[in-house]
């Protein structure tokens, strides 16, 4: 992880936080990482804000899980109440999981009409892979070069962003995300992307792995937020379909309104009425932090899998998680968070672009190659020269400089040179102003 | 699943339940199964009791997830309160996950001193497999013939109980659980079990798959609850260790006091002081229905994995789940549920054995080959003759006959001829009396 605390490094944290850090390293151990050169010790959250024990207020511009806000009262009440009534699994007939499944599938185009619930995005990705591979009787899948899809064995196998300690099996083919900074324009980027898809299908088939399909984050989050040219994912999905594979839209990050639409894939289907991915994977913000995830698909695809391979997830779709998920939909609807994400996102996008232009004009601060955004998902790509040569050090320095100003973001991208800005959907105008001020300061400080 | 509702079959449920069933089949679809020939439509729970919309009281003698009781007020309060304060992930420094991890690892013998949190037993199994396979640079593992370890791709691959639709890869070697009914006594059963372990290690190595280790449910739940001769799993673990593999104790079902001890593996280490499994997998009852699971291991084993392969689970160890898990430990301690499980379990065990002896003496009711039990985990094995020939129909008929009497159990075992009795730990004397009366009635009714 690019912006992690280096285990054992000195910090300026208060003594009680340092003691907690030592205890943590003893009992949680080596697989765990903390964010930031100087970790953050949190005790409380509210809306888009987090607080440490000294009462300092941190602006959360990173966490998409608490989409409807840290400590959201409606989610709290719904879960608290449900835990006093019933919280059991889906092998009994219960009302709430059916009500919610109808409500959720109602947000998707035909033929996406059924849901299977799990607990985490990783589990949902893993299940979607099982379904696609069962259908094809073949393991071959396509993913993007710096994709992250999760942490089970099968999900890690398709997550090249996990790095060298996590080698990929030969039945996983990589394609480069369209590069809007160093490429020859959007049309060329798409042509190149589609050519890679075709070549990958051919390669997997030639090597005897067969072709189960493609799984792709609808906004290519871990590849650095790749958005243009809108529609390229649908045209890639058509190639996948023609070769007999399924397209799995990983909506764990873009889903539930982040881009200003319900789902990230809608950005790519606007010009292709009636087109939908074959399977959709949902997670993170679905229960605002209460573990719940889902795979959405057609009755036909689920039937082919379910008639031969039953699926049961003990906690998946249990009543308390469903209560949280229902409260999230209520909040999104009543607070009009899709419109809100689009509006505040555009303030951030134009604000960041203005700061980038200003910084370039004055020749001050790190060089920004591009600012991208879709709703409340934004990225700032740093380059060391006019050719767009990736500058990961600039990105990490900005992450830490923002953290010093109590603004929380992270870095990602194939070259780790992209600032990842992905706040709770309730991030408001004052939060955006504070973010832009902090960003200007952090840029100038360097 | 042996005792599932057959999709589309007529039921005598009230009209509103039938309508819910139709809606459910439309939106959840084919991968889902409902328990019982006649499904149960639940609206409320309390302690070891569940209620339908008509107010009928069902005795829950099956669910281990709500270990400290359906709708437990302490869990409800802890989670409800935490959701109003903070519910974020482990990449920030927070107190509660460290406090709980210390408390939890304190319940294990050395060198099991570290925890990694996930959300489901499947995720924890999957992670334990990743750790063992990473260590060995080899995929070969041993599991029992009817094991169930979960539902991710990797967990399903080691779950032969999922049936023919879920073929096992060649690097998974099966061994038969010791058979106390049809075997030649406990010593012979153990000899046979250990010989199979040695042969499986040899076979995996000879075929080039290498040997990563053995994963085994400490009470062999899905193999029909195989308990004797106590110690056989430790002796098997010594063979595994000598061959360079890790032993993973799957405590998802036996863990957290079910057997009257904290962990099922303690049954097998009583005569081997200082011996511990290499990794322990925890799940189901850990958060009383709030999704949380864990892998427990030594600093040495976690370091070897974590230094090369980081692990992050967004919801794993988040504050609300940790609050639930802490409340479960409080309840187990204050209500002395280990002692309680041992005491009420022994009432059920001797009651069932009396009923079996009585039924045999009178030549009435289905033939019971054996009644087994450890604390509040019990099984009744049905056979069609004195040689112990499995009688799965008898088991399924008993499941449905008990359900008619509003007593909820299930069936399992290699031959699906074993009644699985695994109630919440708060199952009390009155519940035990009601269960034994119902069992006698259901047996006589047939």
pLDDT averaged per 10 residues, chain B (length 446): 87 96 95 94 98 97 98 98 97 98 98 98 98 98 98 97 92 97 93 98 98 98 96 97 98 98 96 94 97 98 92 95 98 98 98 96 92 98 96 96 98 95 98 98 86
The whole-angstrom distance between A183's CA and the closest CA on chain B is 32
For A171-321, list the strands marked E by DSSP.
172-175, 213-217, 246-250, 279-282, 293-297
One pLDDT digit (tens) per residue for chain A, 446 residues: 778 999 889 999 999 999 999 999 999 988 899 999 999 999 999 999 999 999 999 999 999 999 999 999 999 999 999 999 999 999 999 999 999 999 999 999 999 999 999 999 999 999 999 999 999 999 999 999 999 999 999 999 999 999 988 989 999 999 999 999 998 899 999 999 999 999 999 999 999 999 999 999 999 999 999 999 999 999 999 999 999 999 999 999 999 999 999 999 999 999 998 899 999 999 999 999 999 999 999 999 999 999 998 899 999 999 999 999 999 999 999 999 999 999 999 999 999 999 999 999 998 889 999 999 999 999 999 999 999 999 999 999 999 999 999 999 999 999 999 999 999 999 999 999 999 999 999 999 85
**β-pair type (B410-412, B418-421):** antiparallel
A289 touches chain B (CB under 8 A): yes
Supply B91's token pair: 């990449």
Whole-number Å distance between alpha carbons of A56 and A54: 6
- Each residue's pLDDT tens digit, B51-102: 999 999 999 999 999 999 999 999 999 999 999 999 999 999 999 999 999 9
Cβ-Cβ contacts under 8 Å between A and B: the total is: 333
SS3 B296: strand
The whole-model pTM stands at 0.97
Domains of chain A: 15-68+336-444 (3.90.1150.10), 73-334 (3.40.640.10)
Q: Give yes or no for a contact between A344 and A106, defined as CB atoms under 8 angstroms apart.
A: no
A1 touches chain B (CB under 8 A): yes
Out of A23, A123, A314, the one facing B284 most closely (by C-beta) is A314
**B90: region left, alpha or beta (phi > 0 left; psi from -120 to 50 alpha):** alpha
Out of B50, B75, B151, the one facing A313 most closely (by C-beta) is B151
Interface of A with B in 83-122 (CB under 8 A): 83-95, 97-98, 101-102, 105, 113-116, 118-122
Q: How many CB atoms lie within 10 A of CB B192?
A: 15
Cis peptide leading into A229, omega within 30 of 0? Answer: yes
Out of A1, A162, A302, the one facing B31 most closely (by C-beta) is A302
Q: What is the pLDDT of residue A446?
A: 57
Q: What is the pLDDT of residue B446?
A: 56
Interface of B with A in 191-220 (CB under 8 A): none
B7 touches chain A (CB under 8 A): no
With CA atoms as reference, the chain A residue closest to B93 would be: A41
ipTM for the assembly: 0.97
Whole-number Å distance between alpha carbons of B69 and B82: 20
The whole-angstrom distance between A291's CA and the closest CA on chain B is 6
Whole-number Å distance between alpha carbons of A363 and A360: 5
- Inter-chain CB proximity B315 and A291 less than 8 Å: yes
**A371: region left, alpha or beta (phi > 0 left; psi from -120 to 50 alpha):** beta
Interface of B with A in 121-140 (CB under 8 A): 121-123, 126-127, 129-130
Q: What is the pLDDT of residue B2?
A: 75
Interface of B with A in 296-325 (CB under 8 A): 299, 302-303, 305-316, 318, 320-321
Q: What is the pLDDT of residue A445?
A: 84
The whole-angstrom distance between B107's CA and the closest CA on chain A is 13
Out of A70, A90, A153, the one facing B86 most closely (by C-beta) is A70
- Inter-chain CB proximity A73 and B65 less than 8 Å: no
Q: Give yes or no for a contact between B378 and B436, defined as CB atoms under 8 angstroms apart.
A: no
Largest CA distance in chain B: 66
């Amino acid at each position: 992880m690019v912006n992690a605390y280096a285990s054992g490094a000195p910090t300026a944290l208060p003594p009680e936080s340092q003691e907690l850090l030592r205890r943590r390293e003893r009992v949680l151990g080596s697989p765990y990482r903390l964010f930031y050169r100087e970790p953050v010790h949190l005790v409380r959250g509210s809306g888009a804000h987090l607080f440490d024990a000294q009462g300092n207020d941190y602006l959360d511009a990173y966490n998409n899980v608490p989409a409807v806000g840290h400590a959201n009262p409606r989610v709290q009440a719904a879960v608290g109440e449900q835990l006093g009534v019933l919280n059991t699994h889906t092998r009994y007939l219960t009302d709430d999981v059916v009500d919610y499944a109808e409500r959720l599938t109602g947000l998707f185009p035909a033929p996406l009409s059924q849901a299977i619930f799990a607990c985490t995005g990783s589990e949902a990705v893993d299940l979607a892979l099982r379904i696609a591979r069962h259908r094809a009787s073949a393991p071959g899948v396509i993913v993007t070069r710096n994709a992250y899809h999760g942490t089970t064995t099968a999900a890690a196998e398709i997550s090249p962003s996990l790095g060298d300690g996590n080698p990929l099996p030969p039945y996983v083919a990589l394609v480069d995300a369209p590069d809007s900074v160093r490429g020859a324009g959007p049309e060329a980027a798409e042509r190149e992307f589609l050519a890679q898809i075709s070549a990958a299908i051919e390669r997997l088939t030639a090597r005897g792995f067969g072709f189960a399909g493609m799984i792709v984050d609808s906004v290519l989050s871990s590849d650095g937020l790749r958005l243009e040219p809108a529609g390229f994912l649908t045209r890639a999905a058509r190639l996948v379909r023609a070769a007999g594979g399924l397209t799995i839209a990983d909506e764990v990050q873009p889903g539930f309104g982040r881009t200003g639409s319900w789902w990230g894939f809608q950005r790519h289907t606007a010009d292709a009425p009636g087109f939908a991915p074959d399977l959709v994977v949902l997670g993170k913000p679905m229960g605002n932090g209460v573990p719940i995830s889902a795979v959405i698909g057609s009755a036909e695809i689920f039937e082919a899998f379910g008639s031969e391979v039953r699926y049961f997830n003990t906690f998946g779709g249990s009543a308390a998680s469903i209560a949280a998920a229902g409260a999230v939909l209520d909040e999104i609807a009543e607070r009009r968070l899709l419109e809100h994400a689009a509006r505040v996102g555009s303030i951030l996008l134009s604000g960041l672009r203005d700061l980038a232009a200003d910084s370039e004009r004055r020749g001050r601060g790190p060089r920004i190659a591009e600012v991208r955004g879709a709703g409340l998902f934004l990225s700032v790509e740093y380059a060391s020269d006019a050719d767009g040569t990736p500058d990961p050090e600039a990105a990490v320095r900005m992450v830490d400089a923002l953290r010093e100003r109590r603004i929380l973001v992270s870095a990602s991208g194939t070259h780790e040179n992209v600032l990842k800005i992905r706040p709770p959907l309730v991030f408001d105008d004052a939060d955006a102003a504070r973010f832009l001020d902090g960003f200007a300061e952090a840029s100038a400080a360097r």
